[in-house]
Amino acid sequence: MRILPLLLSAAATVALIIILNTKLVAPAPLGALLSPQHGLWQNAEPANKDFSADIKFSELKGKASVYFDEKLVPHVFAEQENDVYFVQGYLHAKFRLFQMELQTNVAAGRAAEMVGEVALKHDQEFRRLGMVYAAEIALKEMEENETTKTSCDAYTAGVNAYINTLTESTLPIEYKLLGIQPEKWSNLKIALFLKLMSNDLAAHDIDFEMTNAKQFFTKADFDLLYPSVQDSLDPIIPKGTIYNIPAMKPLPPPNVDSLYLNKGFVSVEEFEKPNPANGSNNWAVNGTKTKSGAPILCSDPHLGLNLPSIWYEMQLSTPSFNAYGATFPGSPSVIIGFTDSCAWGVTNGGRDVRDYYEIKFKDDSRKEYWFNNEWKQTTFRIEEIKVAGKPSMLDTVAYTVFGPVMYDKNFNGGRQTNDKNYAVRWKAHDKSNDLLMFNLMDHAKNYDDYMAAVVHLKVPGQNVAFASKGGDIAMRTQGEWPAKWKGQGDYIMPGEDSSYMWQGMIPQNEIPFQFNPERGFVSSANQKPTDSTYAYYLGREYPVARGLIINKRLTGMQQITPQDMMALQTDNYNIYAEQIVPVLLKNVNVQMLNADDTKYLSILKSWNFRNDANSTGATVYNEWYKKFKSAVYDDEFAKAPKPIQLPFESTLIEATLRDSAYKFFDDITTTKIETLADEATKSFKEAVVVLKEQSNLEWWKSKDTRINHLLKQEAFSRIHLNMGGGRNMINATTETHGPSWRMVVSLTDKTEAYGVYPGGQNGNPGSKFYDSFVDKWAAGQYYPLWMMTKDEVKDERIKWVMNFSN
């Protein structure tokens, strides 16, 4: 009988190990994760960690030294040009490997492989959009160019050199938590990362929403709701600029009224829409406006806020170039930054470069479609979507002359009523080698170099600001943009022949730009690039507010210092509130207000139109405006087909200022004709009901900015940040979105630069460098950016040195 206790004990031991080593019973393999020699404890980086090391890699052609300063920013000095990219890849991997893996798998529609079924819809949508197809085309272009090919090869080798050093205990914490292993890096992954940025920045369209709006509203109402030019527009290239006679004139097809502008409803809802707030600010002033007499350039790209941050700060230095700035883990080169002689920054161009065509298939096999009076063959791309813990899903995507058929009977995109087929024509599917622009900018010395570099950027198109120590400033609304006839691509287009296809691209010599303008500054904030005298159609939907306030401020500023620029970048002034609050206050019927209402009204009356962190007026305004907008539009939109576009942000503000008898003030569900006063009063009382439920009216509490970990784990996120700002303000910080890298560069003889981003240099949540910049960023403060020189290797700011050799 002695064997029974033994068997029991042995079975219990094995069972316990299985439970603690797998996810079969418990939600996590706690034994593996808590073993101090293998698991998460190994990621608890000592506070006094020594990052210094001597490392040998046979791939290197010479020596390279990395000097880490007290912010853990690496200053990389390489003897050989491409070694600097090897080291960049190595450091990106060392500090940010998991985000590189996740972002490229998100781009490739492979997220479900990592996180399971929850990402399946995303993956299918991205496969159907042709993200991998786009990356493969980009990879070919990238590898045909000697410069980008060799820099990417070196970068990839650097990433893989780091991956090869990893052991079970040194794996980044997220790999341990998800129970996955890193995949080998490749140049395709660089292309995938860049296409992810194209998706973020050049895939925002409202074609389905606008198609429905066009059908639902009368022409007069439609024009009131979606004006093609805003009253307040202050374009990137100032009004009155003379443009060249265009080399081409895109013409609409003759049947445009019957086949295009008056067709039926559609009901596709994208599962994941790129955030329309993916905007940015940049500007440069020349020496006439600064105290030092040297130009100052400022850039702050607004993106989704995540930990680890999308940016990693570095200096890259070789005998042929020296650049400092924000880099993308996942790509070689400095993306936004400065060299020894100039600086550059980007904002999103935001034009519509993704259109849809309705496809007629011969039958359910999708093998043929009707095009130019004949049945034409489709080609198929078979997508295998792997799912962690589940069988793979297979999806076959049909490709046409327009591009992939994104929506068809196999992928309904949330459609309710019809089963039409829509192919997507997306600029990011075209050939381009955009990375070359950043490689060349890192080498740029003057305006000519900038012009030679910038034309390589085709998608995502960006407004690229430039300033140099030579005294020049410039702004180019860069990109390869389809030359469209008026209205082309605003709605779903017929796809049965070539007549609605894009007719060509705007020639590069007709791209609107500004060079050393008389006003002494250039600026962009995602507003429409030009006034209506520019020959090509630019679409309807652009934000206007930030551009307006930036230009107003810059016009008034003289003797500018870098500190003035920091104050401007973090300015919380609410220009929309300045415009509309007096009108609303004038119209609200005070006799209808009770004692509580009056109390909140007095808060608003004494408000200074600034959305500072502790402002209570900002919270009252925000709630009132939300309710006011609902009161004005909800009745008209209640019966509209979904999805539908709501009026653009500036529309209601401008309509209220312009026309106190704006048609939409009337509530169509009542017999009475409501006025602005009725809507203002009703919405204010509704807002007070909501406000009374809030114990603390301070704006930062109401806005509640947070920076989520990429896996949305709250323990790894920074939540409830005490800071001001908001939509349509220069400091465009909303709940989960905002300035992702603030940079101010004064191009004096010795460059004086400042910067900060909402994150930290080390992606490991167990490192004190994980979120070390967040508090300073939230407080609107900056770090000096140190362009280190080789003779400063003994400087006390240098804390660790990594030596690379072959």
Partner 1 sequence: MKFFVSILLTALLSFALCLFLPWWVIAISGFAVAFAIPQKAGLSFITGFLALFFLWAGLSFWISAANEHLLAHKISMLFINVDNPILLIVVTGLIGGLVAGLGSLTGRLSRKLFTA
* Planar angle of CA 722, 724, 728, nearest 5 degrees: 145
Select the residue interacting with partner 1 from 67, 357, 361, 716 (CB under 8 A). 716
Q: Which helix (H) or strand (E) holds 680?
A: helix 676-692
Query: Which secondary-structure segment (H or E) carries 597?
Result: helix 595-605
Torsion angle defined by CA atoms of residues 53, 59, 65 and 71, in that order, rounded to the nearest 10 degrees: -70
SS3 state at 303: strand
The 159-198 contact track toward partner 1, x by CB under 8 A, reads: ---------x------------------------------
**Of the residues 24, 46, 220, 749, which one makes contact with partner 1 according to CB under 8 A:** 46
From 28, 451, 452, 601, residue interacting with partner 1 (rule: CB under 8 A): 28
Is 10 an interacting residue with respect to partner 1 (CB under 8 A)? Answer: yes
Q: How far apart are CA 643 and CA 211, in angstroms?
A: 9
State yes or no: residue 338 binds partner 1 (CB under 8 A).
no
Residues 621-680 interacting with partner 1 (rule: CB under 8 A):
none
Shortest approach of partner 1 to residue 768 CB, angstroms?
A: 6
Contacts of 355 (CB under 8 A, 6+ apart): 205, 207, 424, 425, 426, 488, 489, 493, 502
Q: Coil, strand or helix: which one is 613?
A: coil
With contacts defined by CB under 8 A, name the span among 39-47, 110-118, 259-267, 748-756 that binds partner 1. 39-47
Q: Is 40 in the site for partner 1 (CB under 8 A)?
A: yes
Q: Which of residues 27 and 389 has its CB atom nearest to partner 1 in the complex? A: 27
Q: Which of 23, 25, 36, 264 binds partner 1 (CB under 8 A)?
A: 36
Q: Residue 266 is which amino acid?
A: V
* 3-class DSSP string for 162-195: HHHHCCCCCCCHHHHHHCCCCCCCCHHHHHHHHH
Among 63, 768, 776, 799, binds partner 1 (CB under 8 A): 768
Residue 181 CB, nearest distance to partner 1 (Å)? 15
48 vs 365, which CB is nearer to partner 1? 48
Return the number of the residue (1 or 382) whose C-beta is nearest partner 1.
1
Region of 113-121, 327-335, 534-542, 710-718 interacting with partner 1 (CB under 8 A): 710-718
- Rounded to the nearest angstrom, the gap between the alpha carbon of residue 804 and the centroid of all alpha carbons in its chain is 34
Dihedral sign for Cα 134, 139, 145, 151, please: positive
197: left (phi over 0), alpha (psi -120 to 50) or beta: alpha
> Which of 22, 31, 485, 797: binder of partner 1 (CB under 8 A)?
31
Count, residues near partner 1 per rule CB under 8 A: 40
CA-wise closest residue to 272 among 416, 127, 380, 395: 127
Where residue 53 falls (left for φ over 0; alpha for ψ -120 to 50; beta otherwise) is beta
Residue number with CB closer to partner 1 (317 or 764): 764
Q: Site for partner 1 (CB under 8 A): which residue of 482, 755, 765, 780?
A: 765
Minimum CB–partner distance for residue 25 and partner 1 (Å): 14
Q: Quote the CA–CA distance of 773 and 427 in Å, as a whole number.
A: 36
DSSP letter for 656, please: H
- CA 432, CA 425: separation in Å to the nearest integer? 16
**By CB under 8 A, residue 410 contacts partner 1:** no
Among 6, 245, 382, 394, binds partner 1 (CB under 8 A): 6
Shortest reach from residue 91's CB to partner 1, in Å: 22
Compare residues 177 and 677 and give the one whose CB is closer to partner 1.
177
Q: In sequence order, what are the residues at sequence separation of 6 or more whose Cβ sits closer than 8 angstroms to the Cβ of residue 730? A: 281, 525, 546, 549, 550, 568, 569, 570, 571, 572, 573
Closer CB to partner 1, 13 or 52, in the complex: 13
Q: Is 17 in the site for partner 1 (CB under 8 A)?
A: yes
Report helix angle 575-587 to 676-692, nearest 10.
110
DSSP secondary structure string for all residues of 277-298: T--EEEEEE-GGGBSSSS-EEE
Rounded least distance, CB 717 to partner 1, Å: 10
Least distance (Å) between residue 12 CB and partner 1: 5
CB of 209 to partner 1, least distance (A): 39
Q: State how far the Cα of 200 lies from the Cα of 346, in Å rounded to an integer.
A: 14
Q: Kindly state the greatest CA–CA separation across the chain.
A: 101
- The only residue of 22, 43, 186, 410 in contact with partner 1, by rule CB under 8 A: 43
Which of 25, 34, 53, 590 is the binder for partner 1 (CB under 8 A)?
34
- Asked if 25 is part of the footprint of partner 1 (rule: CB under 8 A), the reply reads no
Given a contact cutoff of 8 angstroms between Cβ atoms, the answer to whether 753 and 743 are in contact is yes
Binding mask 56-95 for partner 1 (x = CB under 8 A): ----------------------------------------
Q: Please, what is the angle between helix 545-556 and helix 562-569, to 10°?
A: 160
Q: How far is the CB of 43 from partner 1 (least distance, A)?
A: 6
Q: Which of 457, 197, 169, 405 is nearest to 304 (CA)?
A: 197
Length of the chain: 806
Q: From the list 24, 25, 48, 542, which residue makes contact with partner 1 (rule: CB under 8 A)?
A: 48
Q: Is 24 in the site for partner 1 (CB under 8 A)?
A: no
> Out of 223, 384, 714, 795, which residue is the one contacting partner 1 (CB under 8 A)?
714
98 binding partner 1? (CB under 8 A): no
Q: Does 715 bind partner 1 (CB under 8 A)?
A: yes
Q: Which of 23, 25, 44, 262 binds partner 1 (CB under 8 A)?
A: 44
How many C-beta atoms surround the C-beta of residue 395 within 10 A? 17
Identify the helix (H) or strand (E) that includes residue 657: helix 649-658
Q: Does 32 bind partner 1 (CB under 8 A)?
A: yes
Binding site for partner 1 (CB under 8 A): 2-3, 5-6, 9-10, 12-13, 16-17, 20-21, 28, 30-32, 34-48, 168, 713-716, 765-768
